[in-house]
Amino acid sequence: MRISYKTSEFQTALSQSEQASSIRFWVQFTGLRSILSAQRDNTMASLATAEVCDSNASVLASGDLRVLHPVFQIYGQNRTFSGPIVTLKVFEDNVLVRELLETRGEGRVLVIDGGGSLRCALVGGNMGQLAQNMGWAGIVVNGCIRDVDEINECSIGVRALASHPLKSSKKGVGEKHVPLHIAGTLIRDGEWLYADSDGILISKNELSV
């Protein structure tokens, strides 16, 4: 009976171990699938911003295509990225930033209006890795980031005003999916963002490659 009990106990432990391994594999697989999907979609949607401006003067004049003022620094491995926009308005508080990045990115771009604050960072290395794992194409921060070396190792595109070593508060105050006014430009949830080394464009609709 003792041998049978130990064998059963071992089998139970083995079963639990197998379940844990399966869960870890599924999490890793899901994250990898999101990354590959985002990279595939991002490659398909990538456009040279200068060429877009040259060939779309009338759309620029109408306001359906807009150019952000050149105030952002370039971070992350992907200097070129694009995708549908998810907007977030916060001030020196990054709880909602993490909440959104914990959802599946599906090639979208998180645009954060941090009020232009230069007193703390809204995004750090852990969030950069999270964004990569969850399949976000990029993050644009009207504010600061930190852990620059870590973010520069992430396969996403990141834009921010500057870097700052101080972390933000954790109150959970802010607004999701609201219109933002950043860098002289109105940005709406669901519009499209295109970024490369020349700058950042906001388009009412998805642009053709």
As a whole number of angstroms, the longest Cα–Cα distance in the chain is 84
Question: Is 126 annotated as belonging to a binding site?
Answer: yes
Q: How far is it, in rounded angstroms, from Cα 114 to Cα 108?
A: 19
User: Are 120 and 164 within 8 A, CB to CB?
Assistant: yes
Q: In a 3-state reduction of DSSP, which class is residue 184?
A: coil
User: Residue 133 annotated as binding?
Assistant: no
- List b or e across 63-102, with b for residues whose CB sees 16 or more CB atoms inside 10 angstroms: eebbbbeeebeebbebebbbbbbbbbbbbbbbebbbebbe
Q: Please check if 1 is assigned to a binding site.
A: no
The DSSP-derived string for 115-158 is TT--SSEEE-HHHHHHHHHTT--EEEEEEEE--HHHHTTSSSEE
From 126, 120, 176, select the one nearest 151 (Cα to Cα): 126
116 assigned to a ligand binding site: no
- The binding site for substrate consists of 124-127, 146
- The binding site consists of 124-127, 146-147
- The binding site for Mg(2+) consists of 147
